Amino acid sequence: MATVRKSVFLSSLNQYYVIALAFLRLIILSRILTSEEFGIYIIAMSFLTFARVFRIFGIWDYIISDKELTEEKLGVCFTIVGLISLFFAVLFFSSSGFIGRLYGSGELETILNIVTISFLLNPFGLISQALMQRNMEFGKIFFIQFVSSTTNFVLSVALALLGYGAYSVAWGFVSGSAVMIGSILYMDPAHIVFRPRLRNSKEIMKFGGLSTFGDFLWEFLKFAPSIVAGLTLSLGEVGVFSRGQALINFFRQGTETAIGLVSKSWFAATSRENPLQLKENYLKATVMMSVISWPAFLTLFFLAPQLIRLVLGDGWERSVPVTQILSVGGLFSIHVFLGLHLFTAIQEVRWRVMANFVAAATLFIALLSFSAYGIRVVALSITVSQIMLFCMTLYGLHKLIGLNPVEIFSSALPSVGVTLVTMLPLVFLKTTGWIAANSTLVVLAVSGILTALFWIGSLWLFRHPLRLELMRAFAYFLRRFKGRHAVDK
């Protein structure tokens, strides 16, 4: 358990640093780039993210979850990723002109060519990073992400200030990828390149094909709204929608990704060493995540106007309803996020595929039918698909590890209590009109302090398990401080 706690701490430190930089970059670039320039970049990254799913081909998850990993299997993984990456790099370089004409943007063609460069770089770091996560070496991952995200931030902002528009974000992305490879070469040179081989690849190809389909559906749920909205609405509307979605992504990255990265490795290790412990460990993870995630999403719902005004500046008010609608969908994401990780960790990828397929089909039908009615309807379509994904994930958990609704409900009660108490000050300030009558900074400062105090107090009021982890962490740092103070004397 000590390894898990250390991994969660390092993973959280990593994710919150990345979030802080991305948040600061968003604040700066929202005041420099236009909504159309944002929309162009988002569409380009949407296409490349879909291709990235096929490039990875489930190899990352295979390395984490395989029970008998060998050098020969790693060589097969490296070969598969390299060949697929080369194929998609050629494909995008040759089709960027068509995509640019489809959206009526010459800039989109150039940006696609720029960000495609990363496809030629990333195969050399994927195997090494997957091995680090399998072995829960999150200290190394933190270093790699630190230098990569810092490079991305510095170059993106510098080029934007120099007037390079949407190209600034694209070159920042490519530079971050290049620095990531250099960092991996420094941290783990033995796992950069493997001997190419395809012998005995049937098992990996089978897992990879099914996993890739599931990953494609997952990315569809995230990026299809921007792609479809770009065709049915306008690039400017895509920019407005993406800014509202960006705040949700920051919250989800902060409340879910840090713990989620560790949970996948933890579930995989549990599956290899003690499968009977899976249900207990899964419920522990959901209890810890829900007490952070639920108050965060509801806080974002209430304070969306103030946060968007602070982060994006004036002129982005139409992004507020997008953020609020998506924050409601975020309440269902805990079991989705952890449940899909568990399916992968125990190599039951077909359940992840089924859950994603139902949600993707729901989203696709909704977008084709209603996206022309505006970005609010697009956001509502995403929320409905999240609810469908939530239901399918719970069904899979029941079938695979015997988790029933009573166990889920009873484990969630302390988190529900903490969430309701935490929201009391925001509900009071909202209903009395105090939030509308005061400035953005005052509202955020007062609301932040009150919700933090109510959240901490309610952890003890409802005897939530997270309070024990906080007490343990406080005692640890207190001992470290006293020890250092004694040495100084």
Report DSSP letters for 398-461, one per residue: HHHH---HHHHHHHHHHHHHHHHHHHHHHHHHHHTTHHHHS-HHHHHHHHHHHHHHHHHHHHHH
Q: Check residue 314 and give its pLDDT.
A: 73
- Evaluate if residue 339 carries a pLDDT over 80: yes
Q: Check residue 298 and give its pLDDT.
A: 92
Could you give the percent of the chain with pLDDT greater than 70?
89
Q: What is the pLDDT of residues 8-59, one digit of tens each?
A: 666 667 777 777 787 787 778 777 777 677 677 777 777 776 676 677 777 8
Confidence band, pLDDT 50/70/90 cuts, at residue 249? confident
- What residue ranges do the domains of the chain occupy? 2-403
Whether the Cβ atoms of residue 83 and residue 103 lie closer than 8 Å to each other: no
Confidence band, pLDDT 50/70/90 cuts, at residue 419? very high
Strongest mean pLDDT among 26-30, 82-86, 364-368, 415-419 = 415-419
Mean local confidence (pLDDT), 90-119: 80
Q: Could you say which DSSP state residue 464 is in? A: -
- The secondary structure of 58-76, three-state, reads CHHHHHHHCCCCCHHHHHH
Give the whole-angstrom CA distance, residue 109 versus residue 101.
8
Q: What is the pLDDT of residues 259-296, one digit of tens each?
A: 666 777 778 778 877 878 888 888 888 888 888 889 98
